[in-house]
Chain A
Amino acid sequence: MDRFVFLTLDGLSRGAVYAAFALALVLIWRAARVVNFAQGAMAVAAAYVAYSVATATGSYWLGFVVALVGGLLLGALVDRAVMRHVDHTSPLNPVIVALGLVLLIQAVLGMVYGSEFRPAEAPFSRGAFTVGGLAVLSPYDLFVFGAVTVVVCALAWIFARTAVGLRMRAAAFAPEVSRLLGVNVGGMLTLGWALASGVGALAAMLVIPTELGLHPHAMDLVFVSSFTAAVVGGLDSPPGAVVGGLIVGLLLSYVSGYAGSDLTPLAVLVLLLAVLLVRPGGLFAPVAARRV
């Protein structure tokens, strides 16, 4: 029983990060109908900037803020400089461009920072509180839960309650009509990219201290898990991304804990098949007429 509790808590704290990162993927998918394969590399770039700022100033929090702002700007830049000019008639084209960006960003990071691991500091202790001899959550885990909750609530509020959120939704779902109604569709698209990239940067800042450290490829595996999470939840659904992230986090933890770390990829495939064969649009897909 102790082990179950331990694995559950460990899986949830990992899952919270997957949730945030999956949310970033969902944001871009909803805004631009693009699965952004460059999300991981972009987030790592933001984390490297944070690293540079934090080492130069000695302040973790200054680096943290710079990472989020840097993420926002990088997202806007990628949209304005590259993605906007991609021919979207085939949805594969933006995917290939994103993969090209991954290679480019990782190579540039490798040139600037070298391919060594850099230490990623955690702002709070990662030592777990013990309750009755059982290690439970650490202050850092609580920080992760808090940060992800804030982001999820903030996004929900922006999209549901603010004018800009309404415009973004309109621009994504009916660009032509929105344009006629005077919505700056291009601007909303850029805003979507910026927001998603900012959330991605936050996820990177949260997850990298729990992993091997800062490295150009630091988010590769997180990307795979989070993409899975987004697909399980349904790419059109932000709540789906959060639930999907937690499910994937728990699954990975249980399987590594009870069956063996080498079986986790198989478990992920089984999860995907089990969910998608029953609900081909993910858990939170709108129960709509069959799309053809």
Chain B
Amino acid sequence: MSATSAATPPQERTTAAAGRPGDPHRRGSTLLRHLAVVVVAGLLLLGVSYVVEPFRNFQLATVAAYLCATAGLTVLTGLNGQLSLGHGALMATGAYTVAFCQNAFYDRGVTGGSLLLVSLAAAIVATVAVGAVVGVAAARLRGPYLAGVTLAVAVVVPALTVTFDGVFNGEQGLSVPVEPPPLALGAYFPYERWQLWIAGAATLLTLLLLANLVRSRYGRTFRAVRDDEVAARLAGIHVARTQVLAFVVSAATAGLGGALLAVLAQSVSPGAFGLTLSLFLLMAVVIGGLGRLAGAFWGAVLLVALPDLSHSVTEQLTLSAAAAQRLEGNLPLAIFGITLVVVMLVAPGGVQGLLSRLGRALLARLRAGRS
């Protein structure tokens, strides 16, 4: 088996092969359609930010930040077939860049709302550079060998912050000064709502760009390389260049995701970006449903909601002091682990695959009912 086609979800492959008869004329309006979805989602999010309480706003903002990273990883792993265990390190790159920029502005007394944009852009640029280097190495490697190198990257980046603690301040990390919401919004504008706006806007924009990329010529070359390298090469596709490009795109979004996390937390430290994060990101995209951006969304939601949810479940149990001490912390992890295993056994296409199946079944039934 070709290790490159590693990450192909079965359904995606059949869809791509089957083509889509009946709507050739709609192709031109892809951008508009995506734009419409993003605008609707943005408006919904805006509404939600006023309805829910601050903590939920913060959680949604965190979902948005993770979504940046999982969406990029979906493009890399799901669409281009490259496995990365090192996306946590790329997020760290973005996060530290934002910290450096914001501190530099802050130290020089430069203030202004648009500075955050500059910092976020710098984070993306820095991560693109790192991603390009890793991507060039990755393009030569397949399957577990690629996993090995990216795993080493995931371990190295947090370790570097300790080695060069003069710059990164070691384990303790750096604080990220962020301006309060603009006064125009009112003196008592909840900070968490503002955070959701920032993270939500950045993420929706990212998703819009990614969705168009996926539908574009580049998206098709990504998939072609994933499905069959030889065929892709015969069709005139430069395989290595395509793989590096996919890695760079994915790195850029991971960097933005990390930068947003740093902005949300107002701090950055290596412990938050360890190997665990990289592994959890991978779990998230696979559980969400590999190969679709919607799957990345479910993955990001699960990353934030599942620990919280299983904690709430365990809180409902009344236990003796001794038993509670043993179960506390461990029971949520056990529930999380079982969920992972069960979802993979029951729905190998992930949450999104399951939803698609349900949706198709529903549609079929509706059609059958109508005729």
Any A CB within 8 A of the CB of B304: no
Any A CB within 8 A of the CB of B338: yes
Using Cβ atoms and an 8 Å threshold, which residues of chain B touch A235? 144-145
Q: Which 6 A-B pairs have the closest CB atoms?
A: A100-B340, A103-B337, A104-B337, A231-B148, A87-B348, A107-B334
Q: Are A85 and B345 in contact (CB under 8 A)?
A: yes
Using Cβ atoms and an 8 Å threshold, which residues of chain A touch B141? 276, 280
Write out, one digit per residue, whether chain B residues 153-166 have a CB within 8 A of any chain A CB (1) or not (0): 10110011011000
Q: Are A35 and B337 in contact (CB under 8 A)?
A: no
Q: A96-B286, A100-B340, A100-B344 are in contact. Are A276 and B140 (CB under 8 A)?
A: yes
Known: A111-B327, A291-B2. 17 other contacts (CB 8 A): A89-B8, A89-B9, A90-B8, A93-B286, A97-B340, A100-B338, A104-B337, A104-B341, A108-B334, A111-B326, A224-B275, A232-B148, A276-B137, A276-B140, A282-B145, A291-B3, A292-B230
Using Cβ atoms and an 8 Å threshold, which residues of chain A touch B156? 265-266, 268-269
Instruction: Identify which of A96, A260, A282 contacts B340 (C-beta below 8 A).
Output: A96
Point out which of A37, A93, A232 has the most chain B C-beta atoms below 10 A from its C-beta: A93
Using Cβ atoms and an 8 Å threshold, which residues of chain B touch A96? 282-283, 286-287, 340, 344
12 A-B contacts (beta carbon < 8 Å)? A86-B348, A89-B10, A91-B6, A91-B7, A99-B340, A100-B339, A260-B163, A265-B156, A268-B155, A269-B156, A282-B145, A291-B3
How many residues of B are counted as interface, with CB atoms below 8 angstroms from the partner's CB atoms? 55
Query: How distant is the Cα of A107 from the Cα of B162 in the complex, in angstroms?
Result: 29
Using Cβ atoms and an 8 Å threshold, which residues of chain B touch A111? 326-327, 330-331, 334
Using Cβ atoms and an 8 Å threshold, which residues of chain B touch A101? 337, 341
Query: How distant is the Cα of A92 from the Cα of B289 in the complex, in angstroms?
Result: 11
Instruction: Identify which of A29, A95, A110, A269 contacts B152 (C-beta below 8 A).
Output: A269
Any B CB within 8 A of the CB of A106: yes
Any B CB within 8 A of the CB of A193: no
Any B CB within 8 A of the CB of A272: yes
Using Cβ atoms and an 8 Å threshold, which residues of chain A touch B162? 262
Interface contact tally, CB-CB below 8 A: 163
Instruction: Identify which of A104, A110, A231, A282 contacts B338 (C-beta below 8 A).
Output: A104
Within 8 A of B (CB), among A63-117: 82, 85-87, 89-93, 95-97, 99-108, 110-112, 114-115
Shortest CB–CB separation between residue B73 and chain A, in angstroms? 11
Q: Are A29 and B144 in contact (CB under 8 A)?
A: yes
Q: Is the contact region of chain A dominated by helix, strand, or loop, or is it mixed?
A: helix
Q: Are B137 and A273 in contact (CB under 8 A)?
A: yes
Any B CB within 8 A of the CB of A277: yes
Task: Closest B residue to A263 by CB, please name it.
Answer: B163
Query: How distant is the Cα of A103 from the Cα of B287 in the complex, in angstroms?
Result: 15
Point out which of B2, B337, B339 has the most chain A C-beta atoms below 10 A from its C-beta: B337
Query: How distant is the Cα of A110 from the Cα of B323 in the complex, in angstroms?
Result: 12
Shortest CB–CB separation between residue B229 and chain A, in angstroms? 5
Shortest CB–CB separation between residue A273 and chain B, in angstroms? 6
Q: Are A106 and B290 in contact (CB under 8 A)?
A: no
Query: How distant is the Cα of A266 from the Cα of B154 in the complex, in angstroms?
Result: 11
Any A CB within 8 A of the CB of B149: yes
Query: How distant is the Cα of A224 from the Cα of B155 in the complex, in angstroms?
Result: 9
Query: How distant is the Cα of A258 from the Cα of B341 in the complex, in angstroms?
Result: 43
Q: A33-B1, A228-B152 are in contact. Are A103 and B336 (CB under 8 A)?
A: yes
Any B CB within 8 A of the CB of A40: no
Any A CB within 8 A of the CB of B329: yes
Shortest CB–CB separation between residue A237 and chain B, in angstroms? 13
Any A CB within 8 A of the CB of B97: no
Query: How distant is the Cα of A276 from the Cα of B136 in the complex, in angstroms?
Result: 12
Using Cβ atoms and an 8 Å threshold, which residues of chain B touch A228? 148, 151-152
Any B CB within 8 A of the CB of A239: no
Q: Are B337 and A100 in contact (CB under 8 A)?
A: yes
Any A CB within 8 A of the CB of B201: no
